[in-house]
Amino acid sequence: MKSSDMPLDIDQIIKKSQEVCTLAGAKLTDKRKNVLIVLLAAATPLSAYEIVERYKTHFHEALPVMSVYRMLDFLIQEKLVHKLETSGQYMSCAHITCEHQHETPQFLICDRCGSVKEIGIKQHIIAELERSIQSTGFTLAHQQLELHGICEHCQIKPQ
């Protein structure tokens, strides 16, 4: 299951992505765009090697995995894609078309079906986390939170 239950308008997201890149003085080349499309069309995060396979299927063109890693680096820099550190997989940002600035992301990873829902982390959670570790002298870098569990759909389904 795609984590968002809303149907995606890929064309619109790509259009917005173009704008984001142009604004940043970066170029969303055709291949970078196609990699993003593969991720947008996927129901779950994909590894770089899975992207190679799907790219081949979708676009009838081979893409070296080395290039995929570089394109992912680019897309991550532009915050169009995120990397899940706990699984080494990549997924498109769920908030590309949102106007607001990108917040610290929080990922809800379903351990049964593999779907991932990205939500912005609530400010008060960050504040609580910081308060709870204050005594350790540790300073948080706001990267991302990856939480594992069972998604809504998988809960109502039989095992």
Partner DNA sequence: TCTGCTATGATATAACATAACATAAGAAAT
Partner DNA sequence: ATTTCTTATGTTATGTTATATCATAGCAGA
Among 98, 82, 117, residue whose Cα is nearest residue 3: 117
Could you say which of Zn ion, DNA, a copy of itself, none residue 100 binds, taking C-beta under 5 to 8 angstroms by partner kind?
none
Residue 65 binds DNA (CB under 7 A): yes
> What DSSP character marks residue 99?
S
Q: Rank residues 79 and 103 by Cβ distance to DNA and give the closer one.
A: 79
Q: Rank residues 69 and 149 by Cβ distance to DNA and give the closer one.
A: 69
* Least distance in angstroms from the C-beta of 7 to a copy of itself: 18
| Residue 148, CA atoms < 13 Å, CB-side half-sphere | 8
Phi-psi sector, 137: left (phi>0), alpha (psi -120 to 50), beta: left
Binding site for DNA (CB under 7 A): 26-27, 29-32, 47-50, 62-67, 69-71, 74, 83, 88-89
